[in-house]
């Protein structure tokens, strides 16, 4: 009983003491003596009580005890009375709390023993446990299938993401090619717009050029009162104060000669018996005469009636110098289309005959060109002309509209009026030449 109480005190954590072994309390020599005495107690006689230990041994034992206690706790031994009382009070409080906890465990154990379940409750709990385990197994299988489905969905999502990345790359390529195509289209559109603008400009320029009449710009025929004018130069003479200098008249005649030569070349017409040489204020007309044979002579009445039907010899071309025999048979006369200046009174009829001959040849060239235009229109060669094409004034020999073109054959007023009529005919020929296509003379021209 004492041993069990001692063991209980030893296992109680509330008790603050240190269990010392016998080897720590009793010196080894005493232990050996005791053991030897116990072993030999049967053989020897009982001995008397051992002598008490010496004081030094007691002090040494106490010192060893205090060192062991100090080594096994946080308090250095020996301690004072007050500290001992504090330790005892703290240990007493710990003991009372441990006792209360023990009482609580004892009361719980008693209540647990008194409230043990019945067999029906155990069976019910067992059935609920079985159903819970079955539900757990079912939920676990469902979880397993859901996890498998989730893994399949994850794989499908990964595949779709890969396809999405491929589609994104394809979309990027598409937009890149689309932007390049749009840029190329924009460049083509800009080039097309530039070409359209250039075409419109060129079309407008062409239309403006088509409306432009080069002949009217080069040869502007108009009138200034009683005078007919060409490029602002008056052609004719009137008494002062409407006196015109011969320099202006010569320049006007030279411009008119250039107009006839240009229109004849434009229409492809060659004058018969004449060659116009426009040289500004000193222009001339070369006349070619063929000596008449006795068989070709006719009465004056017959020659006047057949003047329009009998063709005159054509003017030789510059490349006909090799035909020496033909040139020897023709006689060339140079007719002036200019005058040197004013002449003394009463000398006009004699000193203006070179100018009169040139004016008559000039008027004959206008007549030939008018006949050529009229014949071309009647035969249908001039497609741009419609109806009857005829000179506005009739020309017969040296008269236009019944007025003589010769200065010595009438007054200054009549000569001025005849020049005005002649310029009107030239304007008609110029307008006709502007409306017909150019006539080609052949590969050599």
**Per-residue pLDDT reduced to its tens digit, 240-284:** 888 888 899 999 999 999 999 999 998 889 999 999 999 999 999
Tell which wins on pLDDT, 386 or 303: 386
Q: What is the pLDDT of residues 81-135, one digit of tens each?
A: 888 888 889 989 999 999 999 999 999 998 888 887 788 888 998 999 999 999 9
Tell which wins on pLDDT, 331 or 196: 196
Contact at 8 Å (CB) between 267 and 305?
Answer: no
In angstroms, the CA 337 to CA 280 distance is 10
Instruction: Compute the mean pLDDT over every residue in the chain, rounded to the nearest whole number.
Output: 78
Confidence of residue 49 (pLDDT cuts 50, 70, 90): low
Which pLDDT belongs to residue 259?
A: 93
Instruction: Return phi, psi of residue 350, to 5°.
Output: -105, -35
DSSP 8-state class, residue 75: S
Span of 25-39, 276-290, 368-382 with lowest mean pLDDT:
25-39
Q: pLDDT at residue 289 above 90? A: no
Which pLDDT belongs to residue 102?
A: 95
Share of the chain above pLDDT 90, in %: 40
Q: pLDDT at residue 75 above 70? A: yes
Tell which wins on pLDDT, 67 or 229: 229
Q: Could you give the C-alpha distances from 432 to 164, 170, 245, 391, 435, in angstroms and in order?
A: 80, 71, 32, 10, 5
Confidence of residue 306 (pLDDT cuts 50, 70, 90): very low
- Find the helix or strand (DSSP H, E) in which 247 lies: helix 246-267
Confidence of residue 388 (pLDDT cuts 50, 70, 90): low
Tell which wins on pLDDT, 242 or 365: 365
Contact at 8 Å (CB) between 358 and 336?
Answer: yes
Nearest to 95 by CA among 17, 19, 18, 13: 13
In angstroms, the CA 365 to CA 383 distance is 24
- Contacts of 373 by beta carbon, 8 Å cutoff, 6+ apart: 267, 382, 389, 429, 432
Which pLDDT belongs to residue 349?
A: 53
Share of the chain above pLDDT 70, in %: 72
In angstroms, the CA 382 to CA 374 distance is 10
- Contacts of 349 by beta carbon, 8 Å cutoff, 6+ apart: 408, 409
Which pLDDT belongs to residue 46?
A: 47
In angstroms, the CA 39 to CA 417 distance is 194
Number of H helices, E strands in the chain: 13, 9
Span of 223-232, 244-253, 431-440 with lowest mean pLDDT:
431-440
Q: pLDDT at residue 311 above 80? A: no
Which pLDDT belongs to residue 50?
A: 55
Tokens, residue 204: 């407008």
Q: Report the first-to-last Cα separation within the chain, whole angstroms.
A: 165
The helix/strand/coil state of 276 is strand
- Contacts of 341 by beta carbon, 8 Å cutoff, 6+ apart: 246
pTM of the model: 0.50
Q: What is the mean pLDDT of residues 336-353?
A: 65
Which pLDDT belongs to residue 127?
A: 93
Confidence of residue 180 (pLDDT cuts 50, 70, 90): very high
Dihedral (CA of 191, 194, 198, 199) sign: positive
Radius of gyration over every alpha carbon of the chain, rounded to an integer in angstroms: 77
């Amino acid at each position: 009983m004492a041993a069990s109480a001692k063991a209980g005190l030893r296992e109680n954590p509330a008790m603050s003491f240190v269990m010392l072994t016998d080897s720590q309390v009793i010196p080894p020599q005493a232990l050996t003596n005791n053991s030897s005495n116990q072993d030999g107690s049967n053989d020897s006689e009982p001995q008397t009580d051992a002598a008490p230990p010496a004081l030094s041994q007691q002090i040494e034992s106490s010192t060893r005890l205090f060192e062991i206690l100090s080594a096994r706790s946080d308090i250095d031994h020996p301690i004072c009375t007050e500290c001992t009382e504090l330790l005892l009070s703290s240990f007493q409080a710990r003991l009372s709390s441990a006792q209360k906890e023990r009482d609580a465990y004892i009361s719980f154990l008693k209540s647990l023993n008194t409230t043990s379940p019945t067999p029906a409750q155990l069976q019910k709990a067992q059935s609920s446990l079985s159903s819970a385990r079955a539900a757990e197994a079912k939920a676990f299988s469902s979880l397993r299938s859901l996890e498998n489905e989730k893994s399949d969905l994850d794989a499908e999502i990964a595949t779709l993401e890969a396809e999405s990345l491929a589609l994104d790359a394809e979309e990027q390529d598409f937009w890149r090619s689309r932007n390049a195509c749009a840029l190329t289209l924009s460049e083509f559109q800009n080039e097309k717009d530039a070409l359209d603008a250039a075409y419109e400009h060129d079309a407008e320029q062409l239309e403006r050029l088509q409306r432009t009449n080069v002949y009217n710009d080069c040869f502007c025929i108009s009138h200034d009162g009683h005078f007919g004018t060409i490029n602002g130069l008056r052609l004719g003479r009137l008494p002062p104060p409407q006196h015109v200098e011969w320099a202006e008249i010569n320049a006007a005649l030279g411009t008119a000669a250039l107009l006839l030569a240009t229109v004849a070349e434009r229409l492809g017409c060659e004058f018969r018996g004449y060659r116009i040489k426009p040289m500004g204020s000193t222009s001339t007309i070369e006349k070619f005469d063929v000596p008449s044979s006795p068989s070709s002579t006719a009465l004056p009445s017959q020659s006047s009636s057949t003047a329009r039907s009998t063709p005159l010899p054509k003017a030789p071309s510059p490349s006909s110098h090799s035909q020496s025999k033909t040139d020897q048979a023709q006689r060339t006369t140079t007719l002036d289309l200019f005058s040197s200046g004013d002449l003394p009174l009463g000398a006009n009829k004699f000193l203006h005959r070179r100018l009169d001959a040139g004016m008559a040849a000039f008027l004959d060239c206008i007549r030939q060109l008018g006949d050529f235009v009229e014949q071309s229109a009647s035969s249908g060669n001039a497609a741009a002309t419609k109806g009857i094409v005829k000179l506005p004034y009739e020309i017969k020999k040296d008269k236009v509209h019944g007025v003589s073109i010769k200065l010595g054959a009438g007054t200054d007023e009549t000569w001025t009026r005849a020049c005005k009529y002649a310029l009107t005919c030239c304007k008609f020929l110029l307008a006709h030449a502007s409306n017909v296509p150019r006539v080609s003379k052949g590969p050599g021209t």
